[in-house]
Amino acid sequence: MNWVQDPDRCLVEGFVFKISGSLVFWSLKKQPTVVTSSVEAEYMTSLDAIKEAMWLRILLSELNYPQVSATVIHTDNQGCIVLAHNPVNHSRVKHIDIKHHFIRECMERGEVAP
């Protein structure tokens, strides 16, 4: 993820998925909203990656390759990891929309892991 040098101050987010070392899906796009912190930006990018991971899990299951363990989502932002594990409601994260807490629900169900 990089700061885009244009007036709207949106970020560029990206992620890739590999299966057995082969690239099967990738995405790179400008985030639709302006974020106020790197934690929020990484959290929103993780949400998009997790939605794609859920779709890939369903597709693989339909192809008779069910996933028996959680899909590992790698992120390098410690604040994002802490927020996904412990959604404390304090002033620094209260602006993050409820829909973005889908990450935590997927982790609780064992479908994804940090």
Residue 25, domain member (yes or no): no
Rounded mean pLDDT for each run of 10 residues along the chain, 114 residues in total: 54 84 86 69 80 91 91 79 65 57 77 78
Partnered with residue 29 across adjacent β-strands are: 13
- Number of structural domains found in the chain: 1
Q: Is the separation of the CB atoms in 38 and 79 below 8 Å?
A: yes
pLDDT of residue 2: 45
pLDDT of residue 27: 87
Residue 84, domain member (yes or no): yes
User: Alpha-carbon distance 10 to 12, whole Å?
Assistant: 7
Is the pTM higher than 0.75? The answer reads no
What tokens appear for 77 in the block?
Answer: 């932002």
Residue 49, domain member (yes or no): yes
**Which residue segment(s) compose the domain that 80 sits in?**
32-113
